[in-house]
Structure 1
């Protein structure tokens, strides 16, 4: 038998979800060599929003490129060969199938029906069709944003089915962009001993705030999950809420689930330059990087302050400012050490005021609604904007849009880079939109 040197992508069409009353495609990644040794069986990683996992169709938009990530990790020996089953998301009811019984939006919350489909209908089908290792310790579940909530609920409710959970940028808390009111969209679960958890968040995801995910990770550690062997949390400081950014760090949960721990080679302290004795809570993000490109944020760190009368720090990275001044904090992980110097001021406001001014092209319909993550009021012909109040330190990458698939583009109708807004102080920001993607001449 000849050796299969390349991985395969198999599409299973029309897989029926009985309680949801719909059908969907399942995209299955099979590692290189799958057809060679018919006695070998493989762990399986289930992923939500399957049309963005491998990008097998042009209309699916951005892709994580999980087939390329898995190929590279397997070829380098960082993980064992695995099967990935990507489950197409049905958009008829938005994200309703990803929420169980706690949601801040007026949707039906049919997460239990979707859970039934995954566990009672899809998993048995795939276990029959492919050479899987069906036990929980060999079965993972992974998703981002609302699909991160689905992973959290389904996985923690069913530790006998899913022994590994990749929860990326989970939509744990909804923040009203106008009032800044926060509404929780999750509930706590007891310890599932031995279950492997990956929790992460980007530092430029706007109202998806690192503190929301960090607090869940801390709660899980307090309940008995062990940092390292069972649970890793990671704050990716420069990452936005995007498929590209999730794919860029998706190798790390795979290494946690299906690989071996490697030696730490680098530590880094991230955080604000200034903190206030009075003001918003501030944290150090102590990032440990291993020699297999795996990184995590240490929530049980070993810190030392050179100026404890000015600033101290808790093991979870929380900064405790005492009085105005300058303080240097040292962090140690094994034989590695890093330091960072902070300025402590008497007071910092909890929020800052941002004045937005957005110019749009003449082609913009008069009744257009403009969004820059949140809806922006119309000021006059071709101008949108106004004053908004944001939490200090909030950072988000975004495109200005007129709604779904109506993003801004450049003069040649090419995609422009995401814009970045940092709410570090009161300021005015101005943007000019050149064109809209849905107004290309061939579509007019």
Structure 2
């Protein structure tokens, strides 16, 4: 009480400091508008009635950051669909600022719940989090809807078979839609950095194949590609031939992300083949090309969502420095195994970025029991026993595991 009577200015200063301290220790994520599902209801508007965002008084007043543009026409495909647009936190604060753009196939599940899996990538919440932490640039994200029954056809640049039924590939027409309908509309109506260096494309499953084809055919439009569990083997593995001896053999100026879940069976091999061919064509691993095998990952949005932060860091941020490495490998393998087991060496960076190290050096304590060979650390059991394996990453990190070989 004596301090309060004699030094009221000191008490006031202490109160101000206390308030500021509370604000300083509060987690940055607490200020994110898109923390919860309750706050993510988008504003729907018809493409026919759309005017540039900077001229839309309602959007300006409400600072609308999730917009669904309905009945958007694909001219060459002669059909309509919706576009789903996310605007970054400062979009309405600086009327001169322009932003990079990430275009994503299967647009509804980018921010909302997919009709197919009832899951979502929740990219708006993840982008806001990374932006608030200063880890990535502010970006615009555009989700492009698929048309259910036409999805496989539109995402395929060549014919194939899906669920036993022949599919006529219309990927060239979908490609025209993305480049000549969607992108010009977005560039006209939003403040974008429209050059290739600031334009990225992303897709999952056969949407990953569409991303690969569109990106490689139009590297003058896109500089960054992200493919989640891509269906690279579609249509009798034609893509691999194109990478080996065909039109994709020549290296393009692209930054490429490829991932897959460890439980996705044949997709793991498809991803590994694609990564190996790209490296053979000159792409520098961990710089121009990154791969990630997600432990226990499956083939749906719920699992892809777990990789989105790393995707955004790779495409639009700074991945930081490698911090630790963990080995995911079966600790028991059998001489009778027909399928070759492999080591998944997962490196975590100080930014939270995660990738699989495919350039590691491998050594075996008892080489008469086990051999490590091939791309990605394939395990070849030679005799029964227990041995230790040591993996050293290209960044100098080291990890060890014990392996038991059984009959």
Same fold (TM over 0.5): yes
Would you tell me which structure has more strand in proportion to its own residues? 1
CA change 1:59–1:222 in 2 (3 A) is closer
Residues 227-376 of structure 1 mapped to structure 2, 5 A cutoff: 227-277=285-335, 279-314=338-373, 316-333=376-393, 334-345=395-406
Aligned to 1:198: 257
CA contact (8 A) 1:4 1:33 kept: no
Structure 2 gap ranges (5+): 1-59
- 1:298 deviation in Å? 0.8
CA contact (8 A) 2:230 2:267 kept: no
| Equivalent of residue 43 in structure 1, options 82, 85, 100 | 100
Aligned to 2:120: 63
SS at match of 2:319: coil
- Is residue 71 of structure 2 the alignment partner of residue 10 of structure 1? no
Counterparts of 1:57 and 1:214, CA distance in 2: 28
Aligned to 1:152: 212
Counterparts of 1:223 and 1:275, CA distance in 2: 33
SS at match of 2:161: coil
- Is residue 82 of structure 2 the alignment partner of residue 25 of structure 1? yes
Counterparts of 1:133 and 1:81, CA distance in 2: 11
- 1:131 deviation in Å? 1.3
- Is residue 230 of structure 2 the alignment partner of residue 184 of structure 1? no
CA contact (8 A) 2:216 2:252 kept: no
Structure 1 gap ranges (5+): 175-181, 347-444
CA change 1:283–1:296 in 2 (3 A) is same
SS at match of 2:73: strand
- 1:63 deviation in Å? 1.3
CA contact (8 A) 1:235 1:285 kept: yes
- 1:72 deviation in Å? 0.4
- Is residue 150 of structure 2 the alignment partner of residue 93 of structure 1? yes
CA change 1:210–1:117 in 2 (3 A) is same
CA change 1:292–1:7 in 2 (3 A) is farther
- Is residue 179 of structure 2 the alignment partner of residue 126 of structure 1? no
CA contact (8 A) 1:172 1:186 kept: yes
Aligned to 1:136: 196
Q: Compare CA radii of gyration and give the structure with the larger one.
A: 2
Give RMSD over aligned pairs.
2.4
- 1:129 deviation in Å? 1.1
Summarize deviations over 1:192-217 as a string: whole Å, max 9, x none.
34311110001123x44312211211
Aligned to 1:219: 277
- 1:336 deviation in Å? 2.7
| Equivalent of residue 77 in structure 1, options 134, 159, 172 | 134
SS at match of 1:104: strand
Equivalent residues, number: 336
Length-normalised TM-score, structure 2: 0.77
Counterparts of 1:183 and 1:101, CA distance in 2: 10
- 1:277 deviation in Å? 4.8
- 1:169 deviation in Å? 0.7
Would you tell me which structure has more helix in proportion to its own residues? 2
Counterparts of 2:370 and 2:115, CA distance in 1: 52
Length-normalised TM-score, structure 1: 0.71
